[in-house]
A = this chain, B = another copy of it.
Amino acid sequence: MHIREATAADRTAILEIILPIIRDGTTYALDRDMSEDEALSYWTESGKETFVAEEEGQILGTYFLRANQAGGGRHVCNCGYMTRTSATGRGVARAMCEHSLRHAVSKGYRAMQFNFVISTNERAVRLWQSLGFEIVGRLPEAFEHPTQGYVDALVMHRRL
């Protein structure tokens, strides 16, 4: 699996990956009805570096990395990762997170923080924990899950 910076030519593949996850609405606090342009803008907007994970010519996942706060908070970065639905269970998210941790170190960040990990997304919580992230906050009933109602969201953090 090769992880590299996204280019304009990856637009279609990125949308194929992120739109079903946004429409599903169970793992990200994003407007489920956002347009393709809004979705792509969100994922690739100014201030974010966007990467894709490629294997045998197919894009299997994508992530962004950005400073989580401005000013005195800019030494902590934040990432979002999405794996192509058909490629789940193949270690794509793990590979992207490992890549992002290395990239964050190379950019001088001191920590990585996830602001809003949905507690019912147990696969993700376990994966981040296995990569050294700790739960540093629990936001009670902060996410309205489409089928499970109000569930907690977690703040997860890892020093670099």
> Which A residues have a C-beta under 8 Å from some C-beta of B?
25, 28-32, 69-76, 110-111, 113, 115-116, 118, 136-146, 150, 153, 155, 157, 159
Contacts and interface: CB of A to CB of B under 8 A. Distances in A.
Nearest to A145: B72
B72 A29 contact: yes
Contacts of A142: 69, 73, 76, 111, 113
Q: Tell me what chain A mostly uses at the interface: helix, strand, loop, or mixed.
A: strand
Contact of A116 (B31, B73, B75): B73
A33 to B, nearest CB: 9
Contacts of A155: 137, 139, 155
A141 B72 CA distance: 10
A132 to B, nearest CB: 13
A30, A32, A69, A72: which has the most chain B beta carbons within 10 Å?
A72
Contact of A144 (B72, B144, B157): B72
Nearest to A152: B136
